[in-house]
Amino acid sequence: RRRRDCHARRPPRAVSAARRNTENMASLTGSALVPKALSSRVATSASFRAPAATPGPASRGALQVVAASKKKDVRLTITLECTEQKESGVAGMSRYMTQKNRRNTSGRLELMKYNPYLRKHTLHRELKK
């Protein structure tokens, strides 16, 4: 059997569709289709064009910029606090900052974490915000 060489000749990498479109648009910059001042991405994007259906003096010659909508953050930063330390009367409070996924863990998070004041692992619960 022949041993397969890890540096054997590999097939050429496929060019992505976005890069291919950029190269095609770069060849058209000299024509009247795309102005030289605008990049190919801005020229082809529909969100930067002026609306054609709303005639009037306010929209004439102006570009309309549409802002992207902000999605709800799925990952939340939460605080975990020790449940046994209040009862023991030891000074200080063991707290940990961590993150949780809102979709997977909708209820309160409870984890066994190390409490340096009590020098043992105790139950830590998520605090209310």
pLDDT digit string (tens) for the chain, length 129 residues = 566 666 666 666 666 666 666 666 655 555 545 455 555 555 454 555 555 555 555 556 666 666 665 667 899 999 999 999 988 989 999 999 999 999 999 999 999 999 999 999 999 999 987
Q: CA-CA distance, 123 to 95, in Å (whole number)?
A: 11
Phi-psi label, residue 56: left if phi above 0, alpha if psi -120 to 50, beta otherwise: left
CA atoms within 13 A on the CB side of 4: 2
What pLDDT is attached to residue 16? 65
pLDDT of residue 34: 47
**Does residue 126 contact residue 83 with C-beta atoms inside 8 Å?**
no
DSSP structure class, residue 108: -
